[in-house]
Structure 1
Amino acid sequence: MNRNTKINALLLLVVAALAVLPLALGLGDHKEEPFTGADGEAETAITEIEPDYKPWFSPLYEPPSGEIESALFSLQAALGAGVLAYYFGIHRGRRQGEERARAQLDAAGKTAPDTVTRAASAGGEGSPEDAGQSTTGRV
């Protein structure tokens, strides 16, 4: 098992422990809603400290039930994960394209740095100038 695999397994174990330990240890059993969000906890604390507190503004949309609120939160998390996965995928693809272009140029005996950059930006198959193609109209 290589070092990265060990680190990933350890991180996965820590995340699982963080999810399971509060449930297993019974943390929050003394509360009516044991695992509410931070905004609910803050609201409770504020009303205990200052019972006459009036919020500065109200939410633009109040979901009709807790299930819908939870579903919207899950949708938000899924969209965020999708954006992050897309971002990291694009950067990994670019890096792989640059490595592929560098390997092709090394095999051809060319090692000019600006040629490597042009080849990587053209999809790793060499620059349009190398293939005799025009760059006019390309985006």
Structure 2
Amino acid sequence: MKQSSRSDRGWNNWLLILAVVGLAVAPIIFVRGAEFGGSDGQAEQAITKVKPDYKPWFQPVFNPPSGEIESLLFSSQAALGAGIIGYAIGLYRGRSEKQKREE
């Protein structure tokens, strides 16, 4: 009985991964010709509509030379964060399994 619950858990994980991928890909497939912009650009447009003479409080420290470099830096930051979170989860799971084996 224990083996079947482990197998069911595996299928559930794969179904969840498939659902997440589907949710990420569906807008790209079904919304043709749409421009997927960031929230920064939308916020800037909304602010200039409300108050056209608005001046930002500060300027960015670093402006990437192109959109590709900006995307690279953003994805690198996301990958680093995911790696750190994954490491922490694995570390704590390993510690709890070790503690269970010792008991």
Same fold (TM over 0.5): yes
1:78 aligns with 2:79: yes
Instruction: Supply the distance in 2 between the matched residues of 1:53 and 1:89 (Cα, whole angstroms).
Output: 47
Q: Which TM-score applies when normalising by structure 2?
A: 0.80
Q: Write out per-residue CA displacement over residues 58-100 of structure 1, whole angstroms, 9 at most, x where no aligned residue.
A: 1111111111111111111111011111101111111121122
Larger radius of gyration: 1
* Identical-residue share of aligned pairs (%): 52
Q: Which runs of 5+ in 2 are unaligned?
A: none
Structure 2 counterparts to residues 27-66 of structure 1, below 5 A = 29=34, 34-66=35-67
Tell me how far 1:53 sits from its aligned partner.
Answer: 1.3
Q: Which runs of 5+ in 1 are unaligned?
A: 103-139
Partner of residue 95, structure 2: 94
CA RMSD of aligned residues (A): 1.9
Partner of residue 127, structure 1: none
Query: Match for 1:17: what amino acid?
Result: G
Partner of residue 10, structure 1: 15
Structure richer in helix, relative to its length: 2
- 8 Å CA contact 1:28–1:35 kept in 2: the answer is no
